[in-house]
Each structure stands twice: as C-alpha cells, then as structure tokens.
Amino acid sequence: MRIQRLVIEDNGDVFTFALHPRLTVVTGMGNAERESLTTELIGALGSHHPGVHLEVEERGGRRLAVFSPPLGRHRIIDVGLATDVSAEFANTAGDPTLLQPLGLDLHQTRNTMRFGAADLVIPDDAHPSIDVLAALEQHEVWTAAQALQQASDDLANPTPAPQSPVADPVILEEVMARHDVLETTVTSFETTRRRTFLIGGFATGAIVPGTIYGGHAGLLFAAVAVTSVLMSLIARARVARANRAATRSLAKAGARSQFGFQLERLNDLLGEHATRSLLMDRADARRHALAEWVRLAQDIPVDWALDHRQEIEAAAQVHRDVAPLDFLSTDPTDPAAAETASLARVLIARLAQLRSIGQEGLPLLLDDPFRGLAAGPKLSLLELVGRSSGDPQIIFLTNDEDVASWARMEALTGEMAIVETDVLQNADGLGQP
C-alpha cells in the first residue's frame, strides 16, 4: 500500500502533502509537528478521523480515496470506478477502515509503522547463534538440520519388526518340551511295538500246540498274545496324546508342523540380524549427519536452531539486504562500522516486517530516527533508506538539517521527494465527495 496524497482540513485551511511512491522526506518538523502528523496519518488509515483525507494505491494498482469529512459519513471510494467500496473495508462496528484487511488496530499500526530513535537500538538479548546461522547459506543449513533430526528420530525410534509368537520364550520352551516328549514317546512306541510283535507272534503260534499238548498252556499263550497287543495299543495311544499336545503347542507358535516351526525360527534369527544391520546403518547415517551439522553450525544444538528457525531466517534476510550495501562494507574489525551494520539490520528488519503485513503491507513512517548519530553512520543509514525505499514506501519526518541537505541532493534524481514545511502552500484538497 502506498499513500499518494494526504489532505488535512484545519479551521478552513487545507494542507496537502503529495507523497512520492518511494520516499518522501518532510523537513522542518519539530517534536510536536511530527507527533501531530503521525497521529493524523495513521488515524486516516483507521476508522473515522474527521478532516483528514487520503489517496492510496494498492499493490494491484487500484486507487482508493478515503474521505473523512468533519460532518458526514466516512467513506472509501474506488477512484478508477467511481464506486463506494466502504463495505469491503468495514470493521466489526461497520466503520470502513483500510486496516481491516490487515487485521490491525490503530495501536498496533502505530507501533509497527512508526520508527523513531528509540527503535534504532541493537537488542541486548540478541543471541549470537542467530547471527552465526543467519550468515550461512540457508538451504544448506536447514537441509543439514532436517537430515540430522530425521537420522536421530530413525535411530531413537526404529520401526519394530512384526513380533512372531515363535519369539515368545514361554511358547518356545513349551514347543521344544512337547517335541522332546513326542520324540521320546515315538521311540518308546517303536521299541514296544517290535518287542510285542515278536512276543505276540510267538505266543499266537504256540496257542494250538500248547492246547493240544499242555491243556491249559494254550490259554496262557493266548493271554500273552493279548497282553502284547494291549501293550502295543497303549504305546500307540501315548504317541497320539503326545502328538496332539505337540500340535497344540505348535498352533500357539503359529506353525502347522515342526518343520514350519523351525523355518519360522530361522526367519526370526535372520530378522534379528537384519534389525541389527539396520540400526548400524542408521547410527552411521546419524554420525555423518552430525558431522555435517557440526561443520556448519559448530556447537549450536540442532534442536535449538529448529526452534528458532523463523528468527534465523529473518536475520538471514537482513544479512542478504545489507550485503549489497557497499557503503557498509568497511573493515569488520572497526567497532563503528560493526555498530552501523547492526543498526542497519535493525532498520531492515522493520522494513521486512512492514512489507509482509497482509497482502498490501504498510508504509514506514520514520520519526527522525537518526538524531544523535555521528555524520558517518547517519549518512550510511540514509543511503540505506534511499536504496530500500519503494517496498515499503517510506515517509521520513525530520528536523535534522543533515537529513534535509541529503534529501535536497537526492531529490534531484527524481527517485524521492522532499517537502519543506516552510514552503507548504494551500491546496484544493481532494474536493468534495
């Protein structure tokens, strides 16, 4: 948003300020005059401020006229279409205000737009690590930070492999015990079966001769044969019970056979080896990521850097804006040069803040911020103001003859304008709406 013209009605007199789209220096302004003009200008951006009118241009090129007559309705007009667009800018109370789309009230706007000597100070709580990281190539810094954070997370929270029931030590012990019992029972059955087969076969063959020659001896052989068969059946039943128990334990382990169980055990062992290999790879990846981060940031913790990323990126933008200013490229060991560069960063940070407000941004209202500075730093900062103006628009109110002299020379280029209050002329203003 750029202010093209400010018109003030005062007891029948009409004062008009035509403002340059980049930079306007208004000289001969004492403390009271600067305070009054600041109040009128910011008030006109807000809700009804009787007797103060504005013409502004939005970034898209639309021109708006803000009419605040002493008597009558406050309105905002689209100059190109000659249409009342007050409803577009109405606040919750129904009053049209250019601040409504920006989400600011008058108090916030004043604190943000106005920049005085009290604002041009180097913060005491400036963290040195912010400057260290801001001076680096930002893409490289955040790529390394995110790589280290991801590698640390991967190492601390490895993806768990699916847990197989075979890995349960209780189930494993039960399966092995049941299998041992089954093997023992089967071995015992095979021994019993062979013996009872021999004994039963001999006793069966001896039944008839025993009956013929021995009378009751045949019954004895028959009893021996039956007993052999019963013993074989009992041994077989034991095998069947042991097999059922082994099958139940295998089912708990998720296997259908002993071979499947052993195969699953092998897979688990291989999985454990793969997990160990994965953890070693991740530890190696984190070691490399940490080495890269330390190379860039030294001992600055990566978590702290990520928590302060917004501040670091803002400081980096300030570094980028200051870097092309060759008039600040003096000996970095010179305390005066270092202080001037720090003050420049403070000013550029405010410019960036105003530039980013809403879709339109806001102008910067400099309230004689350089008073008290030595001639060298003052000239450097004035050059910074001249080069940085335009986005946002800058309005410089001053009573400093050094600033006035600089502005008179710069105005000859047409890149800025100077308004000297002792030669202000009456004007017709915006006309009657």
pLDDT tens sequence across 318-342: 666 665 655 554 444 556 666 777 7
In this structure, are 49 and 113 located in the same domain? yes
Mean pLDDT for all residues in the chain: 79
In-domain check, residue 382: yes
Is residue 185 over pLDDT 50?
yes
Residue 116 shares a structural domain with residue 30: yes
Domain boundary among 252, 283, 318: 252
Residues 106 and 210 in one domain: no
Do residues 85 and 173 both lie within one domain? no
Tell me whether strands 63-67 and 52-57 are parallel, antiparallel or unpaired.
Answer: antiparallel
Q: Which residue bears the tokens 């400081």?
A: 315
What is the pLDDT, as a whole number, of residue 208? 66
Neighbour-count burial of 99, counting CB atoms closer than 10 A to its CB (0-12 exposed, 13-18 middle, 19+ buried): buried
Q: How far lies 397's CA from each of 217, 345, 350, 366, 420, in Å?
A: 139, 21, 17, 6, 10
Q: Give the tens place of pLDDT for each residue, 247-281.
A: 777 677 666 666 666 666 666 655 555 566 667 77
As to burial, measured by CB atoms within 10 angstroms (0-12 exposed, 13-18 middle, 19+ buried), residue 432 is exposed
% of the chain exceeding 90 in pLDDT: 19
What's the alpha-carbon Rg for the chain, to the nearest Å? Answer: 46
Give the number of other Cβ atoms within 10 Å of residue 87's Cβ. Answer: 9
* Residue 95, in any domain of the structure: yes
- Final residue belonging to a domain, choices 219, 252, 285: 252
pLDDT at position 425 is 41
- Whole-angstrom Cα distance, residue 178 to residue 198? 30
Structure tokens belonging to residue 77: 């007009």
Look at residue 283 and tell me if it is in a domain.
no
195 in the same domain as 105? no
Q: Does 107 lie in the same domain as 40?
A: yes
118 and 186, same structural domain? no
> Could you tell me if 9 and 85 lie in one domain?
yes
Give how many domains the chain has, as a whole number.
2
Q: Does a structural domain hold residue 332?
A: no
Q: What is the pLDDT of residues 351-384, one digit of tens each?
A: 888 888 878 888 999 999 998 888 888 888 898 8
Q: Do both 53 and 108 map to the same domain?
A: yes
Q: How far apart are CA 19 and CA 2, in angstroms?
A: 9
Residue 236 counted as domain residue: yes
Residue 197 and residue 109 share a domain: no
Q: Is residue 316 part of a domain?
A: no
118 and 178 share a domain?
Answer: no
Where residue 397 sits, what CATH number does that domain have?
3.40.50.300
Whether residue 105 sits in one domain with residue 175 = no
Instruction: Count how many residues are written for the chain.
Output: 433
Q: Which of 231, 252, 273 lies at the terminal end of a domain, its last residue?
A: 252
DSSP state of 94: S
pLDDT tens track for 398-412:
999 999 999 999 999
Q: Is 292 helix (H, G, I), strand (E, B) or coil?
A: helix
The predicted structure's pLDDT at residue 114: 93
For 219-236, the pLDDT digits (tens) are 676 777 778 778 878 878
- Whether 196 is covered by a domain: the verdict is yes
How open is the CA angle 26-28-32, to the nearest 5 degrees?
95
For residue 208, what are the domain limits?
A: 169-252
pLDDT at 347: 86
Token code pair at residue 286: 């984190």
Query: Does 135 map to a domain?
Result: no
Mean pLDDT score, 14-27: 89
User: What's the rounded mean pLDDT across residues 21-49?
Assistant: 86
